[in-house]
Amino acid sequence: MKVLTVIGARPQFIKAAPLSKALAAIGIEEVLLHTGQHFDANMSQDFFEELGIPKPQYQLNISGLSHAAMTGRMMEAIEEVLQKEQPQMVIVFGDTNSTLAGALAAKKIGIPVAHIEAGMRSNLEYQVEEINRVLSDRISNLLFVSSPSAKANLKAEGYAEERIIESGDIMLDLFNEQAPQLGAPKIADLPARFALLTLHRQENVDDPKILKAWIEALNKLSEEIALVIPLHPRTKSKLAALDLKLKAHFIEPCAHNEILGLIKASSIVVTDSGGLQKEAYFCQKPCLTLREATEWVELVDAGLNKLCHPDNLVEHYKELIQKDLSYPSFYGNGQAAAIIARSIYDYLSAS
């Protein structure tokens, strides 16, 4: 059996690590294709080395383009690889342009698709990630869901029960593996008490008016608690272009275990990332999400995560930081990779 796995961004590297091991353990050959969507060394190659992911057999180096151009060029290049390798299934993760390109390229030439982290919905139709995840779900043969709410979304949209598999969240697999080794972050002058901040989504940083509003709000928050930010290349360029000054402790983009160490050492996480919302939950840290909606609705419903806009960021911080929070189980038992690998094996055996 042979599958081709498409990855291209930090969260997908994290999800691919446990799955690659599980596929190998069950006897499925994996061809790994990296689109190059994240090109920064600390956000790409270092992750492969740290997480023990096999070196990709294919590296497309496609990045820095418009969404349409990026997705189109990825599809064209992925199709060539598929025709050469002839895998029996293509595996995609999450909601990036790489996800959609991989799913479309495979489906158009008759190769089944498995979508990991299916069924997530923010219900923001304009959001690129929402478009990618909805379309990828629609054309996938196997839909692996991280949570009961994701399954409920798919059932409400009319998906057949036999296509939906409750695997749990594959990021929990890796977290459980790395958690015992997490130590204090080795970062100079790290504040004793701080909020870990990430800011990179296009809806927050591409519009100058919106970015200025967030910087003003974050500077007000910095009067309450120190901010530590691994600065994303996208955000760095936008801040420089607008000459905006963020009052924060700036660090370089981090390896995955360093990010987890920072979350663990922080008092609270402030982010517009999907993955960090979950990792904050895994580390039992409260989270302020700089978005009007999130696909991780169960964390908001449980009061562990608050959706923020610039006008209420400080208010929500003061409210959340004072609460005594509990962290119920939402995302399975940390065996998602094994469940996914076995389900793919069974599907291909029956084909």
CB atoms within 10 A of CB 351: 10
Annotate 9-38 with three-state secondary structure: CHHHHHHHHHHHHHHHHHCCEEEEEECCCC
User: Active site includes 34?
Assistant: no
Catalytic residue among 34, 38, 115, 200: 200
E strands, the chain, are: 2-7, 29-34, 58-59, 89-93, 113-118, 142-145, 164-166, 194-198, 226-230, 249-251, 268-271, 287-289, 305-307
Name the burial class of residue 68, with classes exposed (0-12), middle (13-18) and buried (19+) by CB atoms within 10 angstroms of its CB: exposed
Closest alpha carbon to 39 in 59, 19, 15: 59
Residue 85 sits at the vertex; the CA angle it makes with 81 and 89, to the nearest 5 degrees, is: 95
For residue 273, the one-letter residue type is S
Give yes or no for a contact between 258 and 276, defined as CB atoms under 8 angstroms apart: no
Give the whole-angstrom CA distance, residue 236 versus residue 220.
Answer: 20
φ, ψ for residue 6, nearest 5 deg: -105, 125
3-state secondary structure at position 114: strand
334 vs 80, 118, 146, CA distance in Å? 35, 17, 11
Q: What does R_g of the chain's alpha carbons equal in angstroms?
A: 20
Name the residues annotated as catalytic: 200
